[in-house]
Amino acid sequence: MRRLFDEDGLKRLDDIVQPGMLCVFDFDGTLSPIVPQPDSAALPPEVRERLLTLATLAPVAILTGRSLADIRKRLGFEPHYVIGNHGLEGMPGWEGRSKSYALACAAWRSALELALNDKQRFDPGIRLEDKAYSLSVHYRMARNHAQTEQRLRTLFATLSPPPRVIEGKCVFSLMPEDAAHKGGALEELMRQAGASTAIYVGDDVTDEDVFRLRRSDVLTVRIEPHPDTAAEFYLPAMPDIVQLLDELVRRLARQSQAISNRTPA
């Protein structure tokens, strides 16, 4: 795995910044720091400022595990595309399956709430986040993470209908088995936008569906290196997203100016 700001990474960035480029970002851990309480997450002002500039030069998309209702109030600006629930919410045609997704989510929540009442078996630090069409189970505040993970996995195996379980940083996301994932959402966004190239930046296991696409026209970047990631490049830490946004703005502005200079008055 290579560092994006090394020579090879910057060359790849130069190659991917083309007219019609689409810029796609995860939210938590990518544009916003991971916080103990997910409700406290917010877009830092310095990141928002750069995203606003970037959005004047290229289409910008937010592709997040949060629900649409939740993520919109945290951005402070209107991207070209906002996709929630890991690609499940907001993509064309998703409304036709929303009722079945909501029913599955409600069934999981009822079963989990009943089981989690057993405080002898389950840590009181476990918290459920109902996203209407998916369910997140947070355990960052649990005392014993390893034990909590094991017991939650055993519990998830008893749920009906069986969920697709996506593991994140001290969180499990429970998704309908036939629901879209971030990789499919990214490709559909490129089709909608007519994008010639794209960059995708994420930080977690849920982003690996994009990283595994391995498309030459998609540059994938992970926040923090990881031995098991399929991402092409990495940024050392979340605050480095500011430098990446600056690099994108600089290249896109230079390209826009060059095109303008070639256009007859």
Q: What is the pLDDT of residues 203-214, one digit of tens each?
A: 988 899 999 999
Q: DSSP string of 169-188?
A: SSEEEEE-TT---HHHHHHH
- The pLDDT, as a whole number, for residue 179 is 75
Q: Using the predicted structure, report yes or no on whether residue 264 has a pLDDT greater than 70.
A: no
Domain 95-175 has CATH 3.30.70: yes
Q: Which of 8, 14, 15, 26 is catalytic?
A: 26
Domain boundaries, the chain: 2-9+19-92+181-259, 95-175
Render pLDDT for 179-202 as a digit per residue (tens, 0 to 9): 778 999 999 999 999 999 999 999
First to last CA, the chain: 46
- The pLDDT, as a whole number, for residue 178 is 79
Q: Using the predicted structure, report yes or no on whether residue 97 has a pLDDT greater than 90.
A: no
Tokens 């009722």, located at residue: 99
> What is the fold, at CATH topology level, of the domain defined by 2-9+19-92+181-259?
Rossmann fold (3.40.50)
Confidence of residue 88 (pLDDT cuts 50, 70, 90): confident
Taking the C-alpha atoms of residue 62 and residue 31, their distance in angstroms, rounded to an integer, is 10
70 is catalytic: no
Render pLDDT for 137-152 as a digit per residue (tens, 0 to 9): 999 999 999 999 999 9
- The pLDDT, as a whole number, for residue 265 is 55
Taking the C-alpha atoms of residue 62 and residue 83, their distance in angstroms, rounded to an integer, is 6
pTM: predicted TM-score of the whole model, two decimal places:
0.84
Percent of the chain with pLDDT over 70: 98
Arithmetic mean of pLDDT, 45-66 = 96
- The pLDDT, as a whole number, for residue 129 is 92
Arithmetic mean of pLDDT, 120-138 = 93
H runs (alpha helix) in 194-237: 208-211
Q: Using the predicted structure, report yes or no on whether residue 98 has a pLDDT greater than 70.
A: yes
Name the pairing type of β-strands 2-3 and 22-25: unpaired
Q: Which of 69, 144, 158 is nearest to 111 (CA)?
A: 158
DSSP 8-class letter at 43? -
